[in-house]
Amino acid sequence: MTKALYVHVPFCAHICYYCDFCHSIYQKDRAHRWLEAFKREFKERVDDEVSTIYIGGGTPTALDDDLLEELLKTLACVHDPDKEYTIEINPETLNAKKVELLKRYGINRASIGMISSNDKELASLGRRHSFSDVTRTVELLKRYGIDNYSLDILYSFPGETFENYKKTIAEALALRPKHLSLYSLTIEEGTLFYKRGVEHFDEDEEADYYEYAKKAFEENGLLQYEVSNFALKGYESKHNLVYWHYEDFIGLSMGASGKIGAMRYDNTRDLIEYEKGHYIKERLDLKKEDMMYEYLMMGLRLNDGISLSDFEKRFDTSVFEAYKKTLPSLLESGSVKVIDGHLIASDLEILNTILVDLLDQDSE
Ligand code: SF4
Domain residue ranges of the chain, discontinuous segments joined by +: 3-243, 290-364
pLDDT at 361: 67
Pocket test for ligand 1, best of 11, 12, 269 (most atoms within 8 A of CB): 12
pLDDT at 362: 56
In what helix (H) or strand (E) does residue 265 lie, and over which residues does it extend? strand 263-267
pTM greater than 0.85 (yes/no): yes
- 10-residue mean pLDDT profile of the chain (364 residues): values are 90 92 87 98 92 96 97 95 96 96 98 98 96 98 98 95 97 98 93 91 91 98 97 98 97 96 96 97 96 95 96 97 93 94 89 83 55
Pocket test for ligand 1, best of 19, 154, 188 (most atoms within 8 A of CB): 19
For ligand 1, which residues put their CB under 6 angstroms from it?
12, 15-16, 19, 21-22, 57-59, 90, 113
pLDDT at 364: 46
Ligand 1 center to 167 CA (angstroms): 23
Structural class in CATH, domain 3-243 = alpha beta
The residue nearest atom 6 of ligand 1, judged by CA position, is 16
pLDDT at 207: 93
Which of helix, strand or coil describes residue 188?
A: coil
Q: Where are the beta strands (DSSP E) in 79-211?
A: 85-89, 109-115, 149-155, 179-184
